[in-house]
């Protein structure tokens, strides 16, 4: 079989295993999962009710134009409907951007470590990933600017950045924007923007009408609790959106995802409760992790990094035996770091207790 080298050499994205599979593997039960940055309080109740009401229409194709959801998003975000592209998670928007605008040999600049799908999608499209190391766990815009060449076609800025939870400042972002050539697309991935507390954080949508091609990515997976439905969107110039619509599948967002996302946008009580739970949980966890004697790194997301000062894979394994699922950061280049997302209050307590036992304190 004649497979392009750039496809054969792909390293697939490895998602966190489901709770059920890990419980079978390790012979545990009643475990808690704090490894995938999911919403701690579940899905939006209004979304669940709307989905239940739509089940009898599953024999119908979904709205290929996402009309209702697009209209509501446009109103909420104060943009035009023709500037929005909805996708099967914001992951698909990344794929569509690469498929539409990247040709073999084109360069795409991205921070490292960051969201692994940038590199995977670029390589799958025959492009070349230019990975720029973080500086103090933060996207290094100055170093990224120095990497721009005549072959650069796209730049990814994950803000806040996953897995570090840090942001770039508005001043730094606006300086960087001035360095971007007008023919280069700047993709600002804001999957965690709703959790940001730092007022210095830039908002990608504020630059939609600038003289540069800024694309903002967002998702319903985190703050709206709809990760299982896979729905996200990108906001961009109409001209870019028009080209992407020529490439995307005609029914790329399923009917239940559209209905659920539309209802979730109206569920202010759920959204506010999510943000409160995350922020209070972070403050609690910061305090307790410090009391254990471990160093943590403040975040602008619903997850954060902890330096356990030992092999993080070993800590991961020992936490699993206590029914607590976290993420070891070895694959990201941080062999002594773990990443944990905020859970419910009782889950946070259980995590801290287990972590203290594993590192020999508590």
- Going from the N-terminus, what domains does the chain have, and what CATH number goes with each? 17-43+269-358 (3.90.1150.10), 45-265 (3.40.640.10)
Higher pLDDT residue, 214 or 17? 214
> First vs last Cα of the chain: how many Å apart?
57
* Mean pLDDT, rounded, for 293-309: 98
Interval 117-159: pLDDT, tens? 999 999 999 999 999 999 999 999 999 999 999 999 999 999 9
What pLDDT score does 30 carry?
Answer: 85
Q: Determine which of 5-14, 72-81, 140-149 has the lowest per-residue pLDDT on average.
A: 5-14
Q: Angle CA(61)–CA(63)–CA(64) in degrees, nearest 5? A: 95
Confidence of residue 303 (pLDDT cuts 50, 70, 90): very high
What pLDDT score does 8 carry?
Answer: 78
Round to whole Å and give the CA distance between 341 and 305.
Answer: 9
233 pairs with which residues across the strands? 86, 218
Closest among 294, 298, 260, 251 to 279, alpha carbons compared:
298
Is the pLDDT at 300 greater than 70, yes or no? yes
* Mean pLDDT, rounded, for 183-203: 98
Q: Cβ neighbours of residue 54 under 8 Å, at least 6 residues apart?
A: 255, 256, 259
User: Does residue 298 have a cis peptide bond before it, meaning omega lies within 30 degrees of 0?
Assistant: no
Confidence of residue 2 (pLDDT cuts 50, 70, 90): confident
Q: Which long-range contacts does 199-206 make (Cβ < 8 Å, 24+ apart)?
A: 200/167, 200/169, 200/170, 200/171, 201/159, 201/160, 201/167, 201/168, 201/169, 201/170, 201/300, 202/159, 202/168, 202/169, 202/170, 202/173, 202/174, 204/159, 204/235, 205/77, 205/79, 205/235
* Mean pLDDT, rounded, for 298-311: 98
Q: Angle CA(139)–CA(91)–CA(261) in degrees, nearest 5? A: 115
Is the pLDDT at 176 greater than 50, yes or no? yes
Confidence of residue 26 (pLDDT cuts 50, 70, 90): confident
Is the pLDDT at 18 greater than 80, yes or no? no
Neighbouring CB atoms inside 10 A of 19's CB total 18
What pLDDT score does 362 carry?
Answer: 47
* Mean pLDDT, rounded, for 176-189: 98
* Mean pLDDT, rounded, for 261-285: 98
- CB burial of residue 102 (10 Å; 0-12, 13-18, 19+): buried
Q: How far, in whole angstroms, is CA 140 from its chain's centroid?
A: 19
Percentage of the chain beyond pLDDT 70 is 99
Confidence of residue 361 (pLDDT cuts 50, 70, 90): low
| CB 206 within 8 Å of CB 188 | no
Q: What is the mean pLDDT of the chain?
A: 95
């Amino acid at each position: 079989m004649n497979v392009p080298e750039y496809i054969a050499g792909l390293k697939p994205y490895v998602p966190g295993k489901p709770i059920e599979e890990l419980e079978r593997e390790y012979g545990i039960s009643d475990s808690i999962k704090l490894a995938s940055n999911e919403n701690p309080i579940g899905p939006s109740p209004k979304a669940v009710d709307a989905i239940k009401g739509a089940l009898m229409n599953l024999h119908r194709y979904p709205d290929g134009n996402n009309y209702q959801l697009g209209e509501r998003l446009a109103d909420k975000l104060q943009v035009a409907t023709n500037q929005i592209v909805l996708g099967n998670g914001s992951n698909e928007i990344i794929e569509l951007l690469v498929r539409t605008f990247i040709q073999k040999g084109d360069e795409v600049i991205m921070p490292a470590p960051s969201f692994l799908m940038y590199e995977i999608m670029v390589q799958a499209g025959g492009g070349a990933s230019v990975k720029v190391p973080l500086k103090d766990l933060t996207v290094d815009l100055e170093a990224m600017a120095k990497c721009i060449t005549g072959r650069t076609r796209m730049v990814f800025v994950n803000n806040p950045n996953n897995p570090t939870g840090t942001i770039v400042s508005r001043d730094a972002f606006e300086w960087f924007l001035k360095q971007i050539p007008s023919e280069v697309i700047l993709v600002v991935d804001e999957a965690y923007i709703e959790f940001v507390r730092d007022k210095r954080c830039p908002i990608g949508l504020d630059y939609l009408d600038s003289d540069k091609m800024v694309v903002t990515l967002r998702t319903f997976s985190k703050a709206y609790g709809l990760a299982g439905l896979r729905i996200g969107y990108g906001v961009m110039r109409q001209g870019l959106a028009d080209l992407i619509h020529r490439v995307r599948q005609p029914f790329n967002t399923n009917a239940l995802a559209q209905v659920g996302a539309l209802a979730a946008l109206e569920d202010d009580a759920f959204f506010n409760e999510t943000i409160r739970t995350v922020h209070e949980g972070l403050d609690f966890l910061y305090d307790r992790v410090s009391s254990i004697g471990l160093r943590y790194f403040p975040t602008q997301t619903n997850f954060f990094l902890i330096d356990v000062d030992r092999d993080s894979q070993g800590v991961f394994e020992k936490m699993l035996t206590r029914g607590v699922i976290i993420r070891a950061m070895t694959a990201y280049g941080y062999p002594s770091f773990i990443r944990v997302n905020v859970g419910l209050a009782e889950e946070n307590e259980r995590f801290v207790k287990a972590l203290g036992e594993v590192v020999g304190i508590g």
